[in-house]
Amino acid sequence: KSSRTCPSSDPSSDKLSRPTDSSFASFPCAANPPHHALKRGLAGDQCKLFAPNDEEYPWKLTKSKDQMRVYSERRRRWRHHEDANLQSLLCVGSTPGSLDDVMLGIMSSTLEVTRTKTSYVDDLSGAAVLSTVKAPTAADPFKATAVKWMELDVRRRSSGFVKNRDYVYVEATGVKHLPSGERVGFHVMHSVYIPQAHDLSGRVRAKLSVCSFFRQRRDDSMSVYVKAIMDPMSSKTRRVGAPCFIKILLATV
């Protein structure tokens, strides 16, 4: 008999609940998910994994950087055909700073800021703000919603054999106050279809869904939990695109 522990967002203490189903349809990206979903899913306090061997343990460590770790979901032979190309990722750990520091680092509500941040990430070859739905205000500087576009540079990694993937998605950020008075930051990215944002030549329009939570554990440290799903529209591209996507996740926290 063997026991497994779930990847924790804080190596010194906390445990997180077991991730939910990896399909786009069931991924919990609601801005205000019901209490039972929080308790069962992303914001749970306990985790129990009944895995008698490594083959049945659903997550494997893929990459680590400082106090952050990225896990990828193991491929299952019985996965449905329509989900075959989906890649689920779990990014957990801690990062220095306060909640305000982290949220300011994530915010990119203008085209100029978006392009500046893109220039520091090797595997992003382009980004743009297509429409601002809600701009941050002085009263609520972290609350923002926008429609964005970005291009993932997978062509370079594949020596030109695979086209770059681009994404059109809604991005939402904000800070919520829990009943206890604690502040929790969130960052959501979810692919959307917009007729005016037509497919671009030389690129393949792919899909993503990313949900991130940030919690102040100590005065100088933040706990981070990110669940991401990417659909590169090709199994070949999944093998090339996943490492690029992981680098982007680590660069944004």
DSSP H or E segment with residue 240? helix 235-251
Is the residue at 117 inside a domain?
Answer: yes
In angstroms and rounded to an integer, the radius of gyration of the C-alpha atoms of the chain is 18
Tens of pLDDT along 127-141?
Answer: 889 999 999 999 999
Task: Give the range of the structural domain holding residue 167, as residue numbers without chain letter.
Answer: 69-251
Is the residue at 44 inside a domain?
Answer: no
CATH number assigned to the domain comprising residue 98: 3.30.530.20
Is the residue at 45 inside a domain?
Answer: no
DSSP 45-108: S---B--SSGGG-SEEEEEEETTEEEEEEPP-TT--GGGTT-EEEEEEEEEES-HHHHHHHH--
Is the residue at 241 inside a domain?
Answer: yes
Residues 6+ apart with CB under 8 A from 151: 124, 125, 126, 127, 164, 165, 166, 167, 203
* Structural domain total, the chain: 1
Q: What percentage of the chain exceeds 70 in pLDDT?
A: 62
Is the residue at 98 inside a domain?
Answer: yes
Is the residue at 119 inside a domain?
Answer: yes
CB-CB neighbours of 155 under 10 Å? 18
Q: Residue 30 carries which side chain, given as an amino acid letter?
A: A
Rounded-to-integer distance, Cα 115 and Cα 127, Å: 6
Is the residue at 63 inside a domain?
Answer: no
- Which pLDDT score is estimated for 249? 78
SS3 category, 237:
helix
Is the residue at 23 inside a domain?
Answer: no
Q: Residue 206 carries which side chain, given as an amino acid letter?
A: A
Tens of pLDDT along 154-192?
Answer: 766 555 678 888 999 999 999 999 998 899 999 999 999
